[in-house]
Structure 1
Amino acid sequence: MKFKLPFNKKQTHNVEEKTNVDAKMITPSMVGFIQQVKDATHNPFDLIIKSIPPNLTIIYIDNLVKDQALNEHIISNLQNKHYETPETIKDALSVPEVNISGQLEKTIESIIHGSVLMHLDGYPQAVIANITTRESRSLAAPENESQVIGAQVGFNESLSTNISLIRRYIASSDLCNEKFTIGKRTNTSVALLYMNGIANDQMINSLRQRITSLELDALIDSAVLSEMIDDNSLSVFPQMLLTERPDRFCDGLLNGKLGLIVDGSSMAIICPQSFVEFFQSQEDQNLRWHIATFARLLRFTAILLSVFLTPIYVGALTFHYEVIPQAFLVPLSESRALVPFPPVFEALLLEFIIELLREAGARLPTKIGQTIGIVGGIVIGTAAVQAGITSNILLIFVALSALASFTTPSYMMGNVIRLIRFPIIILAGFWGFYGIMLAFCFILIHLLRQSSMGAPYLSPFYPPRLKDMRNSIIRMPIPFTAKRPTLTRPKNEEKFNPQPIKPEKS
């Protein structure tokens, strides 16, 4: 399902209704303005209304404003003084962000976001001072994308903090930051970031159009946003990368990619993203190219083992005994002598138990979850073999497949790898190796049809791009990566001068 712009009659009606709301102005009367704010906010218990004689009213929502800034920069400056116009109130405040508005909707939106409203009796305008305070957790190391060499700080749930982390890495005026508000009820702030002079204009306009065309009641997390603006939201494969690492986010921006940060979410979005890049770690850039290449090859081998090892076991025991070495037949037959179930049921049962242990370990508290995962796996596996429910050889294969699936750096892609293993096992139980090949061809055709922000999902292998292939599965030395990948169609392809530095002769 390709991305389509939602447009209907209801959308036109909403636009007209919003225009009418925008036309509603602030009443000049102090009592009328207070009643307008109470009606628009449904008079919450934390709505604070203070009167400053002779004719000034201050309105704000408790716990959304900085108390120190409110007392020192607003109340202390306005007490015991007479003001004639809203402009004189604005000039008296020592707050960086102060505006004057006569639109009721804008003032209500600002007070919900943590601003203070000041209304002068007799004037149809309100002075808006932004002294917002947001509670957020302190910066910590990423939990889902840990690495040994490299930065040890991750995003948190504060949009301003996350943007400051990015600007710490990219101290350039070319870093563009556009802000959008999504959600009629949540009014969630979303920041679009890209590098001017590098990012492709067509991709920027396309992503901007997808964001502005969304009509949602609520937006809570970045994972929801990425699924809604995907090229194909029905596909099990993610087309945008969710990361909690600022260094990986900035590396994507410098390569011509686009980034999205959602206020209240600790995961940022990077797009476009190819299938191969989901299996690359940011730590690969910090290691020597020999070690990084070995780590990448190990990951891709682990993915093949995770997806096809158990189905090959099921297909070989069900239909293709001839592929099993003769020396291995005797211990294999002894292992399955007491098992009353067919191999496909045996494999599905063990895979289900492994996924059950993984889900239980993830949902329980950390210390209890680790204990359940280790002890539960050992106890259940040993008991299953002794009871004759499964063979010890299949138990090794299933454990190896589960372990291999955890090598994927992306949590979303790791879930996909574990999920697609189940239908492949079922097909292997029905048709053997032919079923495995059928599943492989179906997955390959599906991946060939996918795209990420219009870019081919299987790039650089389809369409073939030889220059980008060198730094996909194999991490090339730094001097050979002077050009940005063609996946993003960057304006400026050169990252640095590839010529090596020649030592000066003394």
Structure 2
Amino acid sequence: MNKRPRPFQKNNNEGSFPLSIEKLKQKIRDHLHDEADLTFKQLDVQNKKIVVFYISHLVDKTSLNESLLTPLIYGQEESTASNLINNLPLGNAKQQDKVEDVCNELISGSVGIYIENEKQVTTFILLKMHQRPIEKPERESIVIGPQTSFTESIDINLNVVRSNIHSTELVAEKFTIGERLPTEVRLVYLKSLANDEDVQTMRQRLNDLKVDDIEDSSVLAQYIEDSSLSVFPQFYLTERVDRFSYGVSKGKVGVLTDGSPEGIVAPSTFFSFFESTEDVYFRWNVATFFRMLRFIAMFISFIMTPVYVAVVTFHYEVLPTNLLVTLGESRSKVPFPPIMEVLFLELIIELLREAGARLPTKVGQTIGIVGGIVLGQAAVEAGLTSNVLIIVIAMSALASFTTPSYLMGSAIRVIRYPLIILAGMFGIIGVTFGLSLLIIHLLRISSLGRPYFLPVYPFVYKDLDNALFRLPFGVGNKRALSYRLKDDMRYKEKKSTKKKDIDDLEG
């Protein structure tokens, strides 16, 4: 296996020590292409020449002055140069014996210290941190439960995950991905629970990935997912810490990427994208109702407008007479065929949705509400569309918003267009053909090697409570069998359901 090249590739003989200070300065400038903020500070300690060097916009100036420069300057009479460096109040020292490795540390926010003609450079990490504070999730809103989201700092993200999962079994393996712009990636899982095959598969995909850089977790997911050509996401991406921690605690593997405010949870099934952490926080019967409502809304979202096109174009006979009269009156002034009418309104809805998402929050909400009302009313009065279709499109759009995952909601929106075209060409037969192809596709794809349509196909009836509905905590005492975890039992059912009152305790 070929090793991944470092950002700076130089001949080892050219970057070897010992060097004079002037020679070291020149080599570092050459490696960093005369970086404008590269700073050198030269000191004389016990007749030894010492140079401190760093990139000024990357390091914390306060820590640099208090913990490094001040002890070097004012501790000269008490110790030798080597002892001074070894006794600095910084606990992250590294010894580097190649100039290219020193430069890699500098661009990561480290400070280098070199004693002239020594064989190594000592580096200390003093990175200036510009971090966004932990805030409330914006895209995955819930009413009940923790309101904590990931940030762009992988250290903070690991911190909050560990605060949610208090276990020594939690593993966070480190990977560096990116040939040209290396990015830190962490593979997170519970050692005592996660399936070894899932962990090894994800580990292998991360190790085998050879790309220039990774911009975000969503980009990484597209590189390592099973079927990159599918419109459906195969890994669940979440900005919620509790959703990520919940997946890991259930035996799944998670992936965190430095610079990304989202985590990856795998393997994920089609039904995982309709689950919400609120399903755990609500009572089981209420949670089951809401989950069923999401599945119904999903079906309405991508089937309602194609069925409208098919019925109005080919199958008037399936409508009741009263509804048929109302529909005929509504469409009497519309000069376009139903398929053109539907595509026109769907395009308007998509434009309003994108405009609302890209504009500032307050303006976006106004544009979405006012724009929808004004354009819809104007389209009806101008005879471009019918009142009935406005209702159908509105219900379809509202149903698409109930999906907890934005990626799955976007996939459903895309699927709707081929179904509309098939409905306009072949009627209900076209819709049925399109749905058949869709189901076949869902049965063929996988997530981290696991069937995407589990537990429906292959059918595992004991896992239906983890996908389609939720059982009371005293009943559902087993983890999902489909994932073949190391421990199937969550708790002992008899002990969890046994209840005592104060009289029993006194007796």
| TM-score (structure 1 length as normaliser) | 0.94
Gaps of 5+ in 1: 1-10
Equivalent in the alignment of 2:38: 47
1:462 aligns with 2:457: yes
- Alignment-mate amino acid for residue 62 of structure 2: Q
Is residue 389 of structure 1 aligned with residue 380 of structure 2? no
Counterpart code for 2:58: L
Report SS of the residue matched to 1:369: helix
Amino acid at match of 2:422: L
Does structure 2 conserve the Cα–Cα contact (< 8 Å) formed by 1:182 and 1:188?
yes
Aligned to 1:37: 28
1:483 to 474, 478, 487: 478
1:171 to 149, 166, 172: 166
The residue number in structure 1 matching 2:353 is 358
* Residue of structure 2 in register with 1:423 after alignment: 418
Query: Which residue in the other structure is 1:3 paired with?
Result: none
Show the 5 A alignment for 1:75-474. 75-80=69-74, 81=76, 86=82, 88-474=83-469
Q: For residue 495 of structure 1, report the CA deviation from its aligned partner.
A: 1.9
Aligned letter for 1:31? E
Asked if the contact 1:90/1:99 (under 8 Å) is kept, the reply is: no
SS of 1:478 mapped into structure 2: coil
Indicate the larger mover: 221-230 or 122-131.
122-131
Deviation at 1:19, TM superposition (A): 8.4
Structure 1 residue 310 displacement after superposition: 0.6
For the structure 1 residues 22 and 224, does the alpha-carbon distance in structure 2 shift closer, same or farther, using more than 3 Å as the test?
Answer: farther
Show the counterpart of 1:63.
Answer: 57
Task: Write the letter of the residue equivalent to 2:201.
Answer: S
- Do the aligned partners of 1:385 and 1:391 also contact (CA within 8 Å) in 2? yes
Displacement after TM superposition at 1:84 (Å) = 5.9
Mapped partners of 1:358, 1:218: distance in 2: 31
Partner of 1:4: none
Q: Which amino acid aligns with 1:336?
A: R
Mark the CA change 1:379 to 1:275 in structure 2 (over 3 Å): closer, same or farther.
same
Q: Tell me how far 1:219 sits from its aligned partner.
A: 1.4
> Is the CA contact (8 Å cut-off) linking 1:78 and 1:92 kept in structure 2?
no
Q: Is the 8 A contact 2:225 2:234 kept in 1?
A: yes
Write the deviation string for residues 423-443 of structure 1: whole angstroms up to 9, x where unpaired.
Answer: 100000000011111110111
Corresponding position of 2:500:
503
5 Å-filtered alignment, 1:9-24, equals: 24=15
Q: Which one is further off, 313-322 or 46-55?
A: 46-55
One-letter amino acid matched to 1:502: K
Unaligned residue ranges in structure 2 (runs of 5+): none
Structure 1 residue identity aligned to 2:19: P
Distance 2:419 2:273 in 1: 21
Secondary structure (helix, strand or coil) at the match of 1:57 reads strand
Q: Say which SS state the counterpart of residue 79 (structure 1) adopts.
A: helix
Q: Deviations over 1:140-191 (max 9, x none)?
A: 1000011111001111111111111001111211110111112233221111
Aligned to 1:349, the other structure's residue is in SS state helix
Q: Secondary structure at the match of 1:470?
A: helix
Tell me the SS of whatever aligns to 2:474: helix
Residue 59 of structure 1: SS of its match in structure 2? strand
Letter of the aligned partner of 1:479 in structure 2?
G
Q: CA deviation at 1:502?
A: 2.7
Distance 1:16 1:470, change over 3 A: closer
2:477 and 2:39 map into 1 onto residues whose CA distance is: 58
Deviation at 1:370, TM superposition (A): 1.1
Are the equivalent residues in 2 in contact too, given 1:89–1:127 (CA < 8 A)? no
Counterpart residue number, 1:8: none
The normalised TM-score by structure 2 is 0.94
CA distance in 2, matches of 1:368, 1:22: 57
Matched residue type, 2:52: I
Select between 12-21 and 128-137 the one with higher mean Cα deviation: 12-21
Letter in 2 for 1:206: T
Q: Is the 8 A contact 2:92 2:125 kept in 1?
A: yes
